[in-house]
Amino acid sequence: MALLLPEPTANDDKYTRGTVGFVTGSERYPGAALLGIAAAQATSVGTVRYLGPRRVGDLVILAHPEVVVSEQPESTGPAQCWVLGSGVPNFKDSQFLNAAQILEKAPIAVLDAGGLDLVVRTDSEPVGHHILTPHGGELCRLLNRLELGFWHPEKLDDATQARKAVALAAEATGHTVLLKGAITRIAAANGESVEVGPNSPWLATAGTGDVLAGLIGGIAAQNPEVAAANWLDIAVLAVELHSSAAEMAAAGGAVTASGVASGISQALRQRFSR
């Protein structure tokens, strides 16, 4: 796992250390962009790009002045991985259209929240270059929209049904699916699967899913070949760091998503003894 987040060398620059792009946040939920970006930066990724409305972009620059911000897809530079959909409420939002345009050319993407509405069924050989990160309700909506039976979040309380749902979504979409929860269940389109947990109960607070999406994106941008071949190692590492960061935040008092994002660097140092 340490090989996924190596320390920089004298030969590295901001581009060799990976670029992650974000089409997240919206006029309604601007904080999602800030949380995801903070998490990605904690992985020491080289460059972060942000595409979104001016108001959110201004907030991003205030919080993270090193981020390259743009308002139009045409003026947005390339990235090894894109994080799409966190804080995007629905298909009527301008950010949804931005995410759709970026997804057409994104080599690798993390699809979260509103970005899940961009996912379609595939009848071709799965490529598996993207990872979907739904919570229970979002996974059920995806399965129902793709006409893969009728699913309700309460059904996922049964571990067997939850495993079935994740595997079904991965097979139907051709991508890796990560179902967030106390036990995180991850399934690839090729049938491989893994479970991580129990995860920190302190993660049960608003915004932590945005943090996880950004954390996955930051790791993937530094390891695009790994993500393109198999997301499981990246996903497992991100979930474990996410949980550890929540526990560290809890040691200091009340836990917020911002606190979890801030705790990622410490979780990394503890895990890899940096």
User: What is the spatial distance between Cα 156 and Cα 160, in angstroms, rounded to a whole number?
Assistant: 8
Indicate the pLDDT class of residue 127, thresholds 50, 70 and 90: low
The pLDDT of residue 1: 66
96 and 114 in contact (C-beta within 8 Å)? Answer: yes
Identify the pLDDT of residue 274. 55
CA separation for the pair 256, 268 (Å, rounded): 19
User: What does the radius of gyration of the chain's CA atoms come to, in whole angstroms?
Assistant: 17
Q: Are 50 and 68 in contact (CB under 8 A)?
A: yes
197, 154 in Cβ contact below 8 A?
no
Q: What is the pLDDT of residues 137-174, one digit of tens each?
A: 999 999 999 999 999 999 999 999 999 999 999 999 99
Give pLDDT tens digits for 243-258.
999 999 999 889 999 9
Given a cut of 90, is residue 124 above it in pLDDT? no
Q: Is 207 left (phi over 0), alpha (psi -120 to 50) or beta?
A: left
- pTM for the full predicted model: 0.96
Sketch out the chain's domains with CATH numbers: 18-269 (3.40.1190.20)
Residue 133, H or E segment:
none
Lowest-pLDDT range of 8-12, 59-63, 84-88: 8-12
